[in-house]
């Protein structure tokens, strides 16, 4: 069942066998990047909610969330956006303190925040590390000036690497750099230089995503007008192979189709998304998943604030997943992981189709788990469709 208007959240019950995380969505950006379709707002797009007001209503949602779930202890926390680093150290530390007050943190909890390189500093990283953050994820995208310009990124080509080193110097053991490949005008050498720079920064985690031209974005309009060429599938595949080859040679191993890490550097919060974890997503437009229920908040920060001011959770809609939907999600998400999809989860007809995928060289059977081959990772979506039939 799916709802689309502001509604009350049905009763939800945590599964005791799965980790629990808290995601906090920060909806603020100074500028809107041309390729981005995330739920973010520039100052000109907001009428009433500023970061301080947002922090106040976030506190109310977290309070209601903890009461609804019985205040489970958080194994992971992830502050995303948007641009969380625009909040500054004081507000970002306050976000973590709100989570700590309402849920508590498990021993050894992973606490991550995203950051844009241009809005970070050594002082910010020092404050976040002292407050209990354990992981920094920086949007690097590329070291090519022309690629950054096409993506409307405002940081200089070298700033992301410098920020990563500042985070490491502040004592963060876990630092991620995000790359985007397949941007119009990018060359293979542009990508190689970007990967090499990310590796040389000394981080333990690198994510690399193919550029997707999302409807309604400035990038989509430029492609439609013929100003930029749409990403080519063959080029995207070659670029993925470049990324994977360089990272594996540098000691990184893939653990999800778009994510590589050194030993111990995996993002535990994101693993929860792919491997059956549960989370409460707080903030405008955030999505949550607990038990067999998924729901999502209203998108605009002003509407979000108004609902919470009235004592209501800001839920825009929900769906309760039946056994068939849960099974489909298991296949779709677990097959993307290096640890693979347990064969025991497959129905008899799906097992038969998996044998065909093995014969076709798209997956292997490793200790009763289906694991994507190098070629299978390039065709992951097709593998999923073939398994589900």
pLDDT given at position 5: 44
- Answering whether pTM is above 0.85, one says yes
Angle at alpha carbon of residue 111, lines to 105 and 116, rounded to 5°: 155
Angle, nearest 10°, between helix axes 51-69 and 301-309? 50
| Tens-digit pLDDT profile for residues 360-380 | 999 999 999 999 999 999 999
Give me the CATH topology for the region 20-275: TIM Barrel (3.20.20)
Residue 104 phi/psi, 5-degree rounding, is 80, 160
Domain 323-388 has CATH 1.10.4160: no
Cα 293 to Cα 274: distance, rounded to the nearest angstrom:
16
Q: Could you give the percent of the chain with pLDDT greater than 70?
A: 98
pLDDT digits (tens, 9 = 90+) for 298-348: 999 999 999 999 999 999 999 999 999 999 999 999 999 999 999 999 999
**Mean pLDDT value across residues 64-74:** 96
pLDDT at 1: 43
Task: Concatenate the DSSP letters of all residues of 145-180 into one string.
Answer: HHHHHHTT--S-TTHHHHHHHHHHHTT-SEEEEEEE
Domain definitions of the chain by residue range: 20-275, 323-388
Whether the predicted pLDDT of 2 surpasses 70: no
- Write out pLDDT tens, residues 120-158: 999 999 999 999 999 999 999 999 999 999 999 988 899
Examine residue 82 and say whether the peptide bond preceding it is cis (omega within 30 degrees of 0). yes
Q: Does residue 6 register a pLDDT over 80?
A: no
pLDDT exceeds cutoff 80 at 42: yes
User: Sign of the C-alpha dihedral, residues 289, 42, 149, 213?
Assistant: positive
> Which of the four pLDDT bands, split at 50, 70 and 90, describes residue 264?
very high
* In the predicted structure, residue 297 carries a pLDDT above the cut 90: yes
């Amino acid at each position: 069942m799916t709802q689309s208007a502001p509604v009350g959240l049905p009763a939800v019950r945590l599964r005791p066998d799965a980790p629990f995380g808290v995601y906090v969505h920060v909806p603020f950006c100074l500028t809107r990047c041309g390729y981005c379709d995330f739920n973010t707002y520039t100052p000109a797009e907001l009428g009433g909610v500023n970061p301080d007001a947002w922090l106040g209503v976030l506190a109310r949602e977290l309070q209601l969330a903890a009461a609804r779930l019985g205040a489970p202890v958080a194994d992971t926390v992830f502050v995303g956006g948007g641009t969380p680093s625009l909040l500054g150290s004081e507000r970002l530390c306050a976000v973590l303190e709100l989570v700590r007050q309402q849920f508590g943190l498990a021993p050894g909890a992973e606490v991550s925040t995203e950051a844009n390189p241009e809005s970070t500093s050594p002082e910010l990283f020092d404050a976040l590390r002292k407050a209990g953050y354990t992981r920094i994820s920086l949007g690097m995208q590329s070291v090519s000036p022309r690629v950054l310009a096409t993506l409307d990124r405002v940081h200089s080509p070298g700033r992301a690497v410098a920020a990563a080193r500042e985070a490491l110097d502040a004592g963060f053991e876990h630092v991620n750099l995000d790359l985007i490949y397949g941007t119009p005008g990018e060359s293979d050498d542009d990508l190689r230089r970007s990967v090499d720079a990310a590796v040389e920064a000394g981080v333990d985690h690198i994510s690399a995503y193919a550029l997707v031209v999302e409807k309604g974005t400035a990038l989509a309009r430029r492609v439609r007008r013929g100003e930029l060429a749409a990403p080519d599938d063959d080029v995207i595949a070659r670029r993925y192979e470049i990324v994977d080859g360089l990272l594996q040679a540098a000691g990184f191993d893939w653990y999800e189709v778009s994510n590589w890490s050194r030993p111990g550097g995996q993002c535990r919060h994101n693993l929860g998304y792919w491997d059956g974890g549960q989370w409460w997503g707080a903030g405008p437009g955030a999505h949550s998943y607990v038990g067999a229920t998924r729901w999502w908040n209203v998108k605009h920060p002003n509407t979000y604030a108004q609902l919470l001011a009235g004592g209501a959770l800001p839920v825009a809609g929900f769906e309760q997943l039946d056994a068939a939907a849960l099974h489909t999600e298991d296949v779709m998400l677990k097959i993307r992981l290096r640890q693979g999809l347990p064969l025991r989860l497959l129905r008899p007809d799906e097992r038969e189709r998996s044998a065909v995928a093995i014969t076709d060289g798209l997956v292997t059977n490793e200790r009763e788990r289906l694991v994507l081959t190098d070629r299978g990772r390039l065709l992951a979506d097709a593998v999923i469709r073939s398994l589900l039939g």
